[in-house]
Amino acid sequence: MLVDSHCHLDFPELRADLPALLERMAGNGVSHALTISTTLSGFPGVREVAQAHPNLWCTAGVHPDERRDGREATVEELVELAGHPKVVAIGETGLDYFRVEGDTGWQRERFRVHIRAARACAKPLVIHTRESAADTLRILEEEGAAEVGGVMHCFTESAEVAQAAMRLGFLISFSGIVTFKNARDLKEVARLVPLDRMLVETDAPYLAPVPHRGRTNEPSFVRHVAEEIARLKDVSVDAVARATTENFFGLFRDARPRG
Protein backbone atom coordinates (compact mmCIF):
# COMPACT_ATOMS: atom_id res chain seq x y z
CA MET A 1 0.00 0.00 0.00
CA LEU A 2 1.42 3.31 -1.18
CA VAL A 3 0.23 6.91 -0.77
CA ASP A 4 0.78 9.68 -3.32
CA SER A 5 1.43 12.58 -0.96
CA HIS A 6 1.21 15.32 -3.62
CA CYS A 7 -0.78 15.51 -6.84
CA HIS A 8 -3.15 17.90 -8.61
CA LEU A 9 -6.24 15.86 -9.43
CA ASP A 10 -8.33 18.96 -10.14
CA PHE A 11 -6.14 19.89 -13.13
CA PRO A 12 -8.17 19.28 -16.31
CA GLU A 13 -5.93 16.53 -17.76
CA LEU A 14 -6.42 14.40 -14.62
CA ARG A 15 -9.92 15.35 -13.61
CA ALA A 16 -11.29 14.36 -17.01
CA ASP A 17 -9.97 10.84 -16.47
CA LEU A 18 -10.64 10.49 -12.73
CA PRO A 19 -12.61 7.18 -12.59
CA ALA A 20 -10.01 5.34 -14.71
CA LEU A 21 -7.17 7.00 -12.82
CA LEU A 22 -8.60 5.84 -9.48
CA GLU A 23 -8.88 2.31 -10.84
CA ARG A 24 -5.24 2.32 -11.94
CA MET A 25 -4.28 3.58 -8.46
CA ALA A 26 -6.03 0.61 -6.87
CA GLY A 27 -4.50 -1.76 -9.42
CA ASN A 28 -1.01 -0.54 -8.51
CA GLY A 29 -1.47 -0.69 -4.76
CA VAL A 30 -1.73 3.10 -4.37
CA SER A 31 -4.42 3.29 -1.73
CA HIS A 32 -4.61 7.04 -1.01
CA ALA A 33 -3.65 10.42 -2.47
CA LEU A 34 -3.48 14.02 -1.31
CA THR A 35 -4.65 16.50 -3.95
CA ILE A 36 -3.07 19.93 -3.55
CA SER A 37 -4.62 23.38 -3.78
CA THR A 38 -2.80 26.05 -5.84
CA THR A 39 -5.29 28.95 -6.04
CA LEU A 40 -8.20 30.29 -4.00
CA SER A 41 -10.45 30.26 -7.04
CA GLY A 42 -9.57 26.62 -7.75
CA PHE A 43 -10.01 25.44 -4.17
CA PRO A 44 -13.71 24.46 -4.47
CA GLY A 45 -12.76 22.12 -7.32
CA VAL A 46 -9.96 20.55 -5.26
CA ARG A 47 -12.29 20.06 -2.31
CA GLU A 48 -14.97 18.58 -4.53
CA VAL A 49 -12.59 15.89 -5.84
CA ALA A 50 -11.52 14.99 -2.30
CA GLN A 51 -15.06 14.98 -1.00
CA ALA A 52 -16.26 12.59 -3.69
CA HIS A 53 -13.75 9.85 -2.80
CA PRO A 54 -13.07 8.32 0.64
CA ASN A 55 -9.38 7.67 -0.17
CA LEU A 56 -8.58 11.25 -1.21
CA TRP A 57 -7.82 14.30 0.92
CA CYS A 58 -6.87 17.84 0.00
CA THR A 59 -5.06 20.96 1.16
CA ALA A 60 -5.96 24.66 1.22
CA GLY A 61 -3.48 27.23 -0.03
CA VAL A 62 -2.03 29.32 -2.83
CA HIS A 63 1.08 28.24 -4.75
CA PRO A 64 4.01 30.68 -4.35
CA ASP A 65 4.06 31.80 -7.97
CA GLU A 66 0.31 31.80 -8.63
CA ARG A 67 -1.17 35.19 -9.49
CA ARG A 68 -4.47 34.10 -10.99
CA ASP A 69 -6.56 35.04 -7.94
CA GLY A 70 -5.61 38.70 -8.35
CA ARG A 71 -5.52 39.16 -4.57
CA GLU A 72 -3.90 37.66 -1.49
CA ALA A 73 -5.50 35.16 0.88
CA THR A 74 -5.77 36.19 4.52
CA VAL A 75 -4.96 34.05 7.55
CA GLU A 76 -8.65 33.99 8.53
CA GLU A 77 -9.70 32.90 5.06
CA LEU A 78 -7.21 30.03 4.92
CA VAL A 79 -8.22 28.88 8.40
CA GLU A 80 -11.84 28.89 7.33
CA LEU A 81 -11.15 26.84 4.18
CA ALA A 82 -9.08 24.43 6.26
CA GLY A 83 -12.06 23.83 8.53
CA HIS A 84 -13.54 21.38 6.02
CA PRO A 85 -13.04 17.77 7.22
CA LYS A 86 -11.29 16.76 3.98
CA VAL A 87 -8.60 19.46 4.34
CA VAL A 88 -5.59 17.94 6.13
CA ALA A 89 -2.87 20.55 5.48
CA ILE A 90 -2.07 24.12 4.41
CA GLY A 91 -0.33 24.58 1.05
CA GLU A 92 1.21 24.30 -1.26
CA THR A 93 3.11 27.31 -0.07
CA GLY A 94 6.73 28.42 0.07
CA LEU A 95 9.01 30.33 -2.29
CA ASP A 96 9.90 29.96 -5.95
CA TYR A 97 12.54 32.37 -7.24
CA PHE A 98 13.00 30.33 -10.43
CA ARG A 99 9.74 31.34 -12.06
CA VAL A 100 9.33 34.84 -10.62
CA GLU A 101 11.58 37.75 -11.50
CA GLY A 102 12.00 41.12 -9.82
CA ASP A 103 10.69 41.89 -6.36
CA THR A 104 9.75 38.71 -4.48
CA GLY A 105 8.66 40.38 -1.24
CA TRP A 106 5.02 39.48 -1.94
CA GLN A 107 5.99 35.79 -2.10
CA ARG A 108 7.61 35.93 1.33
CA GLU A 109 4.61 37.74 2.78
CA ARG A 110 2.22 35.18 1.26
CA PHE A 111 4.38 32.39 2.71
CA ARG A 112 4.25 33.95 6.19
CA VAL A 113 0.45 34.22 5.98
CA HIS A 114 0.24 30.49 5.17
CA ILE A 115 2.48 29.52 8.10
CA ARG A 116 0.38 31.68 10.45
CA ALA A 117 -2.77 30.00 9.14
CA ALA A 118 -1.26 26.54 9.64
CA ARG A 119 -0.38 27.40 13.23
CA ALA A 120 -3.81 28.90 13.84
CA CYS A 121 -5.59 25.72 12.70
CA ALA A 122 -2.88 23.29 13.86
CA LYS A 123 -2.41 21.64 10.48
CA PRO A 124 0.91 20.74 8.83
CA LEU A 125 2.40 22.64 5.87
CA VAL A 126 3.10 21.46 2.32
CA ILE A 127 6.17 23.42 1.24
CA HIS A 128 7.30 24.18 -2.30
CA THR A 129 10.81 25.63 -2.59
CA ARG A 130 12.80 26.33 -5.73
CA GLU A 131 16.02 28.34 -5.89
CA SER A 132 15.05 29.80 -2.55
CA ALA A 133 16.13 27.26 0.07
CA ALA A 134 17.89 29.70 2.42
CA ASP A 135 14.93 32.10 2.58
CA THR A 136 12.46 29.21 2.87
CA LEU A 137 14.27 27.76 5.88
CA ARG A 138 14.74 31.18 7.48
CA ILE A 139 11.04 32.05 7.21
CA LEU A 140 9.96 28.62 8.47
CA GLU A 141 12.15 29.24 11.48
CA GLU A 142 11.11 32.87 12.04
CA GLU A 143 7.41 31.98 11.87
CA GLY A 144 7.68 29.01 14.22
CA ALA A 145 6.63 26.46 11.59
CA ALA A 146 8.20 23.65 13.62
CA GLU A 147 5.10 23.81 15.83
CA VAL A 148 3.01 22.26 13.04
CA GLY A 149 5.68 20.62 10.86
CA GLY A 150 5.02 19.49 7.35
CA VAL A 151 6.73 18.27 4.23
CA MET A 152 9.27 19.68 1.78
CA HIS A 153 7.53 18.48 -1.38
CA CYS A 154 9.22 17.47 -4.64
CA PHE A 155 12.58 17.81 -2.95
CA THR A 156 15.46 18.79 -5.25
CA GLU A 157 17.79 20.58 -2.82
CA SER A 158 21.06 19.50 -1.20
CA ALA A 159 21.63 17.10 1.69
CA GLU A 160 22.36 20.13 3.91
CA VAL A 161 18.97 21.65 3.16
CA ALA A 162 17.31 18.28 3.82
CA GLN A 163 19.09 18.08 7.20
CA ALA A 164 18.03 21.60 8.13
CA ALA A 165 14.41 20.90 7.15
CA MET A 166 14.40 17.66 9.15
CA ARG A 167 15.78 19.53 12.16
CA LEU A 168 12.70 21.78 11.90
CA GLY A 169 10.55 18.64 12.02
CA PHE A 170 9.79 18.48 8.31
CA LEU A 171 9.59 15.33 6.20
CA ILE A 172 11.30 15.12 2.80
CA SER A 173 9.15 14.04 -0.16
CA PHE A 174 10.68 12.54 -3.29
CA SER A 175 9.01 12.77 -6.70
CA GLY A 176 9.67 11.16 -10.09
CA ILE A 177 12.77 13.36 -10.42
CA VAL A 178 14.64 10.83 -8.28
CA THR A 179 14.17 8.26 -11.08
CA PHE A 180 15.83 10.47 -13.71
CA LYS A 181 19.25 9.25 -14.81
CA ASN A 182 20.86 12.68 -14.46
CA ALA A 183 19.54 13.27 -10.89
CA ARG A 184 22.75 11.98 -9.32
CA ASP A 185 22.85 14.43 -6.38
CA LEU A 186 19.21 13.84 -5.54
CA LYS A 187 19.71 10.06 -5.54
CA GLU A 188 22.46 10.67 -2.98
CA VAL A 189 20.06 12.73 -0.83
CA ALA A 190 17.51 9.89 -1.03
CA ARG A 191 20.15 7.52 0.31
CA LEU A 192 20.81 9.83 3.26
CA VAL A 193 17.25 10.69 4.32
CA PRO A 194 16.08 8.01 6.78
CA LEU A 195 13.03 5.97 5.77
CA ASP A 196 11.11 7.27 8.76
CA ARG A 197 11.49 10.88 7.54
CA MET A 198 10.40 10.53 3.92
CA LEU A 199 7.30 10.60 1.76
CA VAL A 200 6.78 9.75 -1.90
CA GLU A 201 4.73 11.73 -4.40
CA THR A 202 4.07 12.24 -8.09
CA ASP A 203 3.26 15.99 -8.37
CA ALA A 204 1.00 14.73 -11.19
CA PRO A 205 0.22 15.77 -13.88
CA TYR A 206 3.87 16.91 -14.07
CA LEU A 207 7.21 15.12 -13.75
CA ALA A 208 6.25 11.57 -14.70
CA PRO A 209 8.87 9.13 -13.43
CA VAL A 210 10.91 6.79 -15.62
CA PRO A 211 9.65 4.75 -17.53
CA HIS A 212 6.78 7.18 -18.24
CA ARG A 213 8.92 10.30 -18.51
CA GLY A 214 7.38 12.95 -20.75
CA ARG A 215 3.85 11.56 -20.42
CA THR A 216 1.03 12.85 -18.22
CA ASN A 217 1.85 11.77 -14.68
CA GLU A 218 -0.74 10.17 -12.36
CA PRO A 219 -0.85 8.82 -8.79
CA SER A 220 -0.40 5.15 -9.79
CA PHE A 221 3.11 6.05 -11.02
CA VAL A 222 4.23 6.77 -7.44
CA ARG A 223 5.14 3.08 -7.41
CA HIS A 224 8.15 3.85 -9.64
CA VAL A 225 9.35 6.48 -7.16
CA ALA A 226 9.13 3.96 -4.31
CA GLU A 227 10.94 1.34 -6.39
CA GLU A 228 13.82 3.70 -7.12
CA ILE A 229 14.15 4.65 -3.45
CA ALA A 230 14.13 0.97 -2.49
CA ARG A 231 16.92 0.35 -5.02
CA LEU A 232 18.96 3.34 -3.76
CA LYS A 233 18.61 2.36 -0.10
CA ASP A 234 18.92 -1.37 -0.78
CA VAL A 235 15.68 -2.20 1.03
CA SER A 236 12.47 -3.82 -0.22
CA VAL A 237 9.77 -1.82 -1.99
CA ASP A 238 7.50 -3.10 0.74
CA ALA A 239 9.64 -1.44 3.40
CA VAL A 240 9.51 1.87 1.52
CA ALA A 241 5.75 1.56 1.09
CA ARG A 242 5.18 0.71 4.74
CA ALA A 243 7.39 3.54 6.05
CA THR A 244 6.11 6.26 3.73
CA THR A 245 2.47 5.32 4.34
CA GLU A 246 3.02 5.35 8.10
CA ASN A 247 4.80 8.72 7.80
CA PHE A 248 1.93 10.11 5.74
CA PHE A 249 -0.71 9.25 8.34
CA GLY A 250 1.64 10.34 11.12
CA LEU A 251 1.98 13.80 9.58
CA PHE A 252 -1.51 14.33 8.15
CA ARG A 253 -3.35 13.29 11.28
CA ASP A 254 -6.74 14.40 9.97
CA ALA A 255 -6.43 11.83 7.17
CA ARG A 256 -6.35 8.93 9.61
CA PRO A 257 -9.09 6.42 8.99
CA ARG A 258 -11.80 6.83 11.58
CA GLY A 259 -13.93 4.17 13.27
Question: Which lies closer to Zn ion via its Cβ, residue 203 or residue 218?
Answer: 203
Angle at 5 between CA 89 and CA 87, to 5 degrees: 25
Rounded least distance, CB 63 to Zn ion, Å? 7
Distance CA 96, CA 19 (A): 33
Count of C-beta atoms within a 10 Å radius of residue 135: 17
Using CB under 5 A, which of 128, 187, 223, 233 touches Zn ion?
A: 128
- For residues 30 to 69, the per-residue mask of contacts with Zn ion, x marking binding by CB under 5 A and - elsewhere, is ------x---------------------------------
Query: Which window, 29-37, 136-144, 179-187, 242-250, contacts Zn ion (CB under 5 A)?
Result: 29-37
Exposed / middle / buried, residue 159 (Cβ in 10 Å: 0-12, 13-18, 19+) = middle
CA distances from residue 26 to 19, 40, 77, 112, 185 in whole angstroms, order as listed: 11, 30, 35, 37, 32
x/- map, 175-204, Zn ion, by CB under 5 A: ----------------------------x-
Q: In the complex with Zn ion, which residue's Cβ is closer, 137 or 233? A: 137
Closest to Zn ion by CB, 40 or 233: 40
Cis peptide before 211 (omega within 30 of 0): yes
**Which 8-state DSSP code applies to residue 28?**
T
Binding of Zn ion at residue 110 (CB under 5 A)? Answer: no
197 contacts 247 by C-beta, under 8 angstroms: yes
The nearest distance, CB 154 to Zn ion, in angstroms, is 5
Nearer to Zn ion, 9 or 233 (CB): 9
Phi, psi of 128 (to 5 degrees): -110, 125
Amino acid in position 244: T
d(CA 14, CA 18): 6
Answer whether 198's CB lies under 8 Å from 172's CB. yes
CB closer to Zn ion, 9 vs 22: 9
Number of residues engaging Zn ion in binding (CB under 5 A): 4
**What's the min distance (Å) between Cβ of 203 and Zn ion?**
5
> Nearest to Zn ion by Cβ — which residue?
128
> Which range, of 88-96, 161-169, 220-228, 230-238, touches Zn ion by CB under 5 A?
88-96
Least Cβ distance, residue 259 to Zn ion (angstroms)? 31
Identity of the residue numbered 117: A
- Binding residues for Zn ion, rule: CB under 5 A, are 36, 92, 128, 203
